[in-house]
Amino acid sequence: THKVILDLDTGIDDAMAIAYAVAAPNVDLIGIVSSYGNVLTPLSAQNSLKILELLGQTDVPVFLGESHSSTTDHFDVMPISAQIHGKNGIGEVSLPVAKRQPETKSGVDFLIESAHTYKQDLIVVPTGPLTNLAQALKRSPEIQDEIGNVTLMGGALTVPGNVSPVAEANINQDPQAADEVFESRLNLTMVGLDVTLRTLLTKNETTQWRQLGTAAGEKFADIVDYYIDVYKITSPHLHGCALHDPLAVGVALDPSLVTTLDLNMFVDTTREMWGRTIGDPARLTDPHPNVSVALTVDQKTYLNRFMTYLSNLFAK
Ligand code: BDR
Ligand code: CA
C-alpha cells in the first residue's frame, strides 16, 4: 500500500485527483495539504473537505499550506483561474458546508513529519504551486532523501505553456520554489502539459456519472461540465477538458502509464522566460538527471482506468 499525500489548490481537476486517489486500490491517502492557485489556500482547504465529505471520506485530514509564494510578489490568484474553475474553484457548484475544519498542524509540518515516518513508502503528489514542498525542503533538507517519490503536475517541455508562451500555471505561480524542488535530490517525476493535454474528458463521460443517480455522480458531473464548457471556449481544438491533476495521481501510482525522458532540468526565473521548465544545456551529459519528464501517455489505458475508478466510487 502506498502512503499518499496530495498537495492541492482545489480546483476542478484537483477535485478529480482526490476522487482518483480515493478510488484507486492500494492507496492510503494519509492527508491533503492545501495550496493557493486556482483559489486561495483557505478556500482550497474548504473545497477539499467538501469533496471528501461528498465521497464519504471523513477520515482524511486536510492541512493548510502556504498562502502565497515566499519568493515572488505574485501572491494574488491569477485572474485567469476564476474563469477556468469558477470563483469558488468548483465550477460555481454549491456543496454542503463541510462539517470538519482543517487541522491545526500546518501542511508543511505534516509533509516533514510524514517523510520522517513513512520514508520511501511515501508518495507526494503536488498539483498546485510547489511552495509547500520547497518550504518543507528548506526547513528539513533530509526529507529529500526520505520521500519515495514526488510526482507533480506542472511544467511543459515539448509544448507551450498555458498561462504564457513558456509557463504552465502551477510553475508560473512560484518558479523559484519549483526550481528548488527540481534542484533537490528528490526522486521527481514531472507530469506536465506534454501529457495532460492528451488525456481529455467529454460530456459523454460526465453523463455516465449523472446517470448513476447518486449525489457524488451528479455533483461531479455538474462541476466537470463547467470545466468542459470553459475548454470549449479557451481550447476549442482539444475536444474535452484536460485531466491534468488526476493524471499525476495515476502516474504516481503506476509509472508505466507514461514514457519518460530523464533530464537535468531547471526552472527559469528570468523575466522573459518566467516559469519555463527546460533542460540545462550545461548538464546534458551529467549522468545524474534530476527529473523524469513524462513525454507520452497510454491514453486508452488511463482513461479506461479513470472512468472505472470514478464511476465505481460515485455509484456507492
Ligand atoms: C494546472 O493549473 C491548474 O489550474 C490546474 O488545477 C492544474 O493543476 C494546469 O496547468
Ligand atoms: Ca491544480
What DSSP line would sit under 139-206, residue for residue?
H-TTHHHH-SEEEEE---SSS--SSSSS--HHHHH-HHHHHHHHHSS--EEEE-HHHHTT-EE-HHHH
CA geometry: angle 192, 197, 201, nearest 5 deg = 130
Task: Give me the pLDDT at residue 81, please.
Answer: 75
Catalytic residue among 7, 9, 14, 222: 9
Probe residue for ligand 1, chosen from 14, 16, 38 as the CB with the greatest number of ligand atoms within 8 Å: 38
Task: Give me the pLDDT at residue 82, please.
Answer: 76
Q: How far apart, in whole angstroms, are the C-alpha atoms of residue 83 and residue 139? A: 35
Pick the residue whose CA is nearest to atom 10 on ligand 1.
Answer: 169
9 is catalytic: yes
Q: How far apart, in whole angstroms, are the C-alpha atoms of residue 81 and residue 128? A: 12
ipTM of model over 0.90: yes
Helix (H, G, I), strand (E, B) or coil at 123: strand
- Give the distance (Å) from ligand 2 centre to CA of residue 284: 30
Catalytic residue among 2, 68, 85, 244: 244
Q: Which ligand neighbours the alpha carbon of 155 most closely? A: 1
195-222: per-residue pLDDT in tens? 999 999 999 999 999 999 999 999 999 9
- Give the distance (Å) from ligand 2 centre to CA of residue 198: 17
Q: Which ligand neighbours the alpha carbon of 162 most closely? A: 1
**What's the predicted TM-score (pTM) here?**
0.97
Probe residue for ligand 1, chosen from 18, 162, 244 as the CB with the greatest number of ligand atoms within 8 Å: 244
Residue ranges in the chain whose pLDDT is less than 50:
75
DSSP-H helix ranges across the chain: 12-23, 41-54, 79-85, 107-118, 131-139, 143-146, 169-173, 175-183, 193-196, 203-210, 215-234, 244-253, 299-315
**Cα Rg of the chain, angstroms:** 18
- Give the distance (Å) from ligand 1 centre to CA of residue 178: 14
Pick the residue whose CA is nearest to atom 2 on ligand 1.
Answer: 169
14 is catalytic: no
- Give the distance (Å) from ligand 1 centre to CA of residue 37: 8
Q: How far apart, in whole angstroms, are the C-alpha atoms of residue 20 and residue 233? A: 26
Task: Give me the pLDDT at residue 78, please.
Answer: 57
Pick the residue whose CA is nearest to atom 8 on ligand 1.
Answer: 127
- Give the distance (Å) from ligand 1 centre to CA of residue 205: 20
Task: Give me the pLDDT at residue 73, please.
Answer: 61
Task: Give me the pLDDT at residue 83, please.
Answer: 82
- Give the distance (Å) from ligand 2 centre to CA of residue 66: 15
Q: What is the atom index within ligand 1 of the atom nearest the CA of 153?
A: 8
Task: Give me the pLDDT at residue 79, please.
Answer: 56
CA geometry: angle 141, 126, 3, nearest 5 deg = 80
Query: Which residues surround ligand 1 with Cβ inside 6 Å?
Result: 11, 13-14, 38, 81, 84, 127, 153, 162, 168-170, 244-245
